[in-house]
Chain A
Amino acid sequence: MLKLQINGRNHDVGVPDDMPLLWVLRDVIGFSGTKFGCGVGLCGACTVHLDGQAIRSCQTTVGSVGAQVITTIEAIGATAMGHKVQQAWLDKEVVQCGYCQSGQIMSATALLNQTPKPTDDDIDTAMAGNICRCGTYVRIRDAIHMAAA
């Protein structure tokens, strides 16, 4: 039995150590807000926070999490910065099809927590691993600036 702390609650899960954290979140616990995109760490759709750092949950084995605190899209809006980012996302109408947006918001929130006033270059660098097939990049950048203001 592994003990995980997710979104402020403890979860005991009986899964193999080498199972990707993404599978545990979606299929074992039922937090399906985090998306499965490529499964090989190339698209960013599965981004969650581990002790505040944006990580790819499809490339993180559940056994490597240990006591680190996991935050997913289901709870990011309860944080001050997460709420600002989500509001900016709505105000700027970033979302098109929506599939990548959980990961985009998790990466954007981690960036703003570390760099409160990011430049365009900071944003492009931090968000480079989050792919959007609809091409919402310009609005993502606008929304991050808005949340930083």
Chain B
Amino acid sequence: MSQNARPTRRLMLQAGAVAAGSLMLGLRLSTPARAAEPAPTPDFLPNAFLRIDRQGVITLILPHAEIGQGVYTSSAMLMAEELEVGLDQVSIENAPPDIAKYLDPLLYDQATGGSTSTRTDWVRLREASAVARTMLVMAAAQIWQVTPATCTVARGVINHAASSRSLGYGDVVEQAAKLPIPGDVKLKDPADFKLIGTEAKRIDAPSKSPFGNGLVRLA
């Protein structure tokens, strides 16, 4: 076989771009046919680290590799603490490569190492979560026509005690996604920590424990 018979890398890249363009076009063409259906509500994505969908599923998008050091658990604790949810309510997704969003300022790279994960996440993830909680509470307060300060949150449910009303995070994501992102949020006083400082069970352990039921998927 001659060298010329093979597709070059450049040709492959061009072919890929065309294929992607076709896919985009296909989606657009299908839109009118779907117009009668209700438009899908976007998930609540207040920042690069957090996504909450309409079912209330909370996903921490984490740019650290879990290699046994427990970072899935420790970073999820930071998020759960400020978001006022249980550790069992946070699922983890690996962040895609995106150095603009996921730079570790201590390593100056999107990387895991040097005992930097918790030092990096300590403020970053708590702020990301506090911003989200503030917006979600504000959304519920708007729906109820009350002041946000009269609302409380427990396990991802916003409560207004005076009127005995409550809404889950998933119920208000649509409203929250329309709000401006607050520039300044107050982090919790360490005296009020419920999770940070506790000996939480590792959230990755059950999926890694060789339980003979197909859960063992390491290559």
Residues of A within 8 A of B (CB): 32-33, 35, 72-78, 82, 86, 89-90, 93, 95-99, 101-102, 105, 134
- Which of these, A72, A78, A86, contacts B209 with CB under 8 Å? A86
- Which of these, B209, B213, B214, B219, contacts A95 with CB under 8 Å? B209
Question: Is B208 close to A, CB under 8 A?
Answer: yes
Query: In the complex where A90-B205, A98-B68, A134-B68 touch, is A32 in contact with B212 (Cβ < 8 A)?
Result: no
In whole angstroms, what is the CA distance A105 to B69 when docked?
A: 20
Residues of B within 8 A of A (CB): 67-70, 201-202, 205-206, 208-214, 216-219
Q: With a CB–CB cut-off of 8 A, which chain A residues contact B202?
A: 93, 95
Identify whether the interface residues of A are mostly helix, strand, loop, or mixed. Answer: loop
Query: In the complex where A93-B205, A95-B205 touch, is A33 in contact with B212 (Cβ < 8 A)?
Result: yes
In whole angstroms, what is the CA distance A95 to B72 when docked?
A: 14
Let me know if A33 and B68 touch, CB within 8 A: no
- Which of these, A72, A75, A99, contacts B218 with CB under 8 Å? A99
Identify whether the interface residues of B are mostly helix, strand, loop, or mixed. Answer: loop
Let me know if A82 and B219 touch, CB within 8 A: no
In whole angstroms, what is the CA distance A78 to B210 when docked?
A: 12
Q: With a CB–CB cut-off of 8 A, which chain B residues contact A75?
A: 212
12 example contacts (A-B, Cβ-Cβ < 8 A) are as follows: A32-B217, A33-B210, A33-B216, A74-B214, A74-B216, A77-B211, A77-B213, A86-B212, A95-B209, A96-B68, A96-B69, A134-B68
- Which of these, A35, A76, A90, A98, contacts B212 with CB under 8 Å? A76
Q: With a CB–CB cut-off of 8 A, which chain A residues contact B69?
A: 96
Quote the shortest CB–CB distance from A75 to chain B (angstroms).
Answer: 6
Nearest residue (CB) in A for B66 is A97
Nearest residue (CB) in A for B69 is A96
Nearest residue (CB) in A for B199 is A93
Q: With a CB–CB cut-off of 8 A, which chain A residues contact B219?
A: 32
Most B CB within 10 A of own CB, among A33, A90, A93: A33
Q: List 16 additional A-B contacts (Cβ < 8 Å) besides A89-B209, A90-B209.
A: A33-B210, A72-B212, A73-B210, A74-B212, A74-B216, A76-B212, A78-B212, A86-B211, A86-B212, A90-B205, A95-B208, A96-B68, A98-B210, A98-B218, A101-B210, A105-B210
